[in-house]
Every structure is written in C-alpha cells, then in structure tokens.
Amino acid sequence: AQTVTQSQPEMSVQEAETVTLSCTYDTSESDYYLFWYKQPPSRQMILVIRQEAYKQQNATENRFSVNFQKAAKSFSLKISDSQLGDAAMYFCAYRSPGLIGSRLTFGEGTQLTVNP
C-alpha cells in the first residue's frame, strides 16, 4: 500500500516571500500521479497542482511549482510571492494510474500561515 508523509504540521511565511512544503511517499509502482490540495477554513478541497510520475519536468501553476524527485520519492511544493489568500491547510496526495476508481491517499497536512 502507498503511504504519504508530510513532516511539517505547521509552516509560516511572510507575505511576498517564498515557502516550501515537504512531502514524501512510498510506493512500489513506477507510474502514478501526485497532487497538492489546498483546504481553506471553508473546508473546500481545491486542487493546486498535479504531477505525473512519468514526466520528468516539474509542474508549475503560476506562483506554485513542485520539486519532484522520483528516486527519492519526494514531492515538495514551492509557493512564491506568498499572498494572504494562500493561508490554508495543504495536503499532498497520491493516486495510482489508470482506472478512475483509484482512490487518493493523503498525507497528514501542513497548516500554512501567511503573515502580513
């Protein structure tokens, strides 16, 4: 079974600064998807960024980018130019490839605070 670990329960960053959230995972599969989700106090899970394991290029979405190290099974999220609206709980998640029925396996989450 796959596992996802987020070792930083809490992180803080100054507005406009850069912060990196860590995630490691364990799997025996060679192909899979990795995700970062954001959960604000509204509880709505919002997809921030996704990475396919077979792609060597790191995914980017505006101010959000990942550092995907497949051999090390590491998938960190970098948030540049942090904004107050980035404050939320961030979850790293893993999904096996192919079938739509593949569940998401989540890490424990990292609570991000953005200080003005």
Nearest distance from residue 31's CB to other proteins, in Å? Answer: 12
Sign of the CA dihedral with 102 first, then 103, 105, and 110 last:
positive
Binding mask 10-39 for other proteins (x = CB under 8 A): -----------------------x------
Nearest distance from residue 45's CB to other proteins, in Å? Answer: 4
Q: Is 46 exposed, middle or buried (0-12, 13-18, 19+ CB in 10 A)?
A: exposed
10: three-class secondary structure by DSSP: strand
- Which 57-116 residues touch other proteins, going by CB under 8 A? 91, 93, 100-109
From 62, 61, 4, select the one nearest 33 (Cα to Cα): 4
User: Closer CB to other proteins, residue 50 or residue 78?
Assistant: 50
Which residues in this chain contact other proteins in the complex, by CB under 8 A?
4, 6, 33, 42-47, 50, 52, 91, 93, 100-109
